[in-house]
Chain A
Amino acid sequence: MKRIGFLSWALWFGYAFLYVPIVLLVVYSFNESRLVTVWGGFSTKWYGELMNNDALLSAAGLSLQVAAVSATLSVILGTCAGMAMSRFGRFRGRTLFGGLITAPLVMPEVITGLSLLLLFVAMEQLIGWPDGRGVTTITIAHTTFTASYVAVVVQSRLAGMDGSLEEAAMDLGARPAKVFFVITLPIIAPALVAGWLLAFTLSLDDVVVASFVSGPGSTTLPMVIFSSVKFGISPQINALATLMILLVAAGIFVASIVMTRQDRQRKRDEQMALQTG
């Protein structure tokens, strides 16, 4: 009994550690006072100011655009990479390929950012493209490091998928490309959605790589947050954070409802299967 007590104590401590800061963040976004340490009464004025902060809003627009495009590109690249790693058996250069996929996962952001910037500068010198730094270079950079995450997610989904499904389709006369589009893709679709969301979040979160490869006039939302946070607390950032948390929470809430419903449906189906056995 004593051990169970210790364990649940540890569990609650962990959750408190994870969530108390977030809760405080949200609470202080409704603080009338500019000082975070003093509660000056309930107010939503920081949300109003946020809505009038044009620099911040345009940065948010840019970030969303970059995140959407790079997440889409990285799903395409990551799916190809995941397929190659888990379905093509041995091919020449597979070891290097595997290394190239997993290395960006653990690469410090400062190195990724610096090296990509140096590449873009060198390319501009050599072939004149990309012309300066901006949305394009940030998108390429984000695609590069998020594609690895997608590849890992897709690869693990493919590893969990019964490979004989694809063989069965081929046995019934479907060519490899058709097998991929008609069998594999629908079955791994949840992993692609998860991969896209992961890539989107990572892109929306990145400040280091973007700082290296962005140019004048292409400031992303995290860059704006970072520079304003460096000069201390700003209740506007609390308000922004609250909105982002709300968005994520809503997304997760919807996802969990859908999942619960599917789960219940599946249980009902299994029941039905047993009865008609």
Chain B
Amino acid sequence: MRGAVSALAAVLGRLGLWGRGVVVAVPYLWLMLFFLVPFLIVFGISFSESVIAQPPYAPLVEWLTDEDAGTTKLQLLLNLTNYLRLTGDDLYILAYLNSVKIALVTTLLCLFIGYPMAYAIAKAPPARRGPLMMLVILPFWTSFLIRIYAWIGILKGNGVVSNLLEWAGITSGPVEILYSDWAVYIGMSYCYLPFMVLPLYSTLEKMDPTLLEAAADLGCRPFKAFLTVTLPLSIPGIVAGSLLVFIPSVGEFVTPELLGGPDTLMIGRVLWNEFFANRDWPVASAVAIALLLVLVVPIMIFQYVQAREAEER
């Protein structure tokens, strides 16, 4: 084993700078081919026309041969109908607005549940912080799908929550929470909660505890100290956590599909239906491009925050 490693090392070493080039080039080319190029294709097809064929879209570029003149022309057809449909049909606009709304509510729920958790863990004795954080991340390692599935049994009529409410005398008869926007809020905040707690905890944990002591020493009451010292200093964590929850929530498909009702419109579902049910690839592509446009600003903020944090380290 050791011999093989050093032989490999020797070969690579002889390659010198070339080896360094390979290290960059392999992931670079892979991501170009399987990440960047696909986008350009999606962008292109979003201007195409849906046809009944295999694949079900009209080629963008066509050779036109004029037999009389004996010439051949290259024709590029850019079709804006798909985008006009997106702006013309209420369904799409509603789906976009609803996606943003659901993502915002999810983010806020995660923040309200996650901030006190992160704060409590950061204040716990150092030896206990690791295990407590571990407990937050643990569910992430089990299947996302299964965690959503767990809520079906809890939220459905005659489910656990319904029975509890009935038993407590709050409601009479079964309550159906499943297949509503609220089920989607609960399911999504459940799945994305670790993404909120993690960055919050890391900012709160880094905070110098003597800052609060200094504030107290200067006559500041604990709650006021929290508002004027802790909260402003944890803003980077709040921003990072909120973006980590908000961005994937907007494009979420599985949760609204499983927990939401038929009227829980989200853009991910619309895209899925256009593609799988209607087999309209060009419109699905246009929906994807439009979804990306919605996400460009938050993604850029996220990248900026990431880059700044990387520099500080």
Contact = CB atoms under 8 A, between A and B. Distances in A.
A151 B27 contact: yes
Interface residues of B, number: 98
A3 B248 CA distance: 33
Contact of B41 (A115, A222, A229): A115
A108 B291 contact: yes
Main secondary structure of the interface of A (DSSP, over half): helix
A232 to B, nearest CB: 8
A100 B6 contact: no
Interface of A: 3, 6-8, 10-11, 13-15, 17-19, 21-22, 24-25, 28, 36-37, 76-78, 80-81, 83-84, 88, 91, 93, 97-104, 106-111, 114-116, 118-119, 121-122, 125, 140-141, 143-144, 147, 151, 159, 175-178, 180-182, 201, 204-205, 207-208, 211-212, 222, 225-226, 229-230, 232-233, 237, 240-241, 244-245, 248, 251-252, 256
Nearest to B269: A110
B285 A118 contact: yes
A75 to B, nearest CB: 11
Interface of B: 5-6, 8-10, 12-13, 15-16, 19-20, 23-24, 26-28, 30-39, 41-42, 45, 55, 113-114, 116-117, 119-121, 123, 132, 134-136, 138-139, 141-154, 156, 158-160, 163, 190, 193, 197, 222-223, 243-244, 247-248, 250-254, 257-258, 268, 271-272, 275-276, 281, 284-285, 288, 291-292, 295, 299, 302-303, 306-307, 310, 313
A119 B258 CA distance: 28
Contacts of A115: 38-39, 41-42, 288
B288 to A, nearest CB: 5
Contacts of A177: 9-10, 12-13, 15, 19
A179 to B, nearest CB: 9
Contacts of A14: 113-114, 116-117, 136, 193, 197
A81 B25 CA distance: 9
A81 B291 contact: no
A99 B302 CA distance: 11
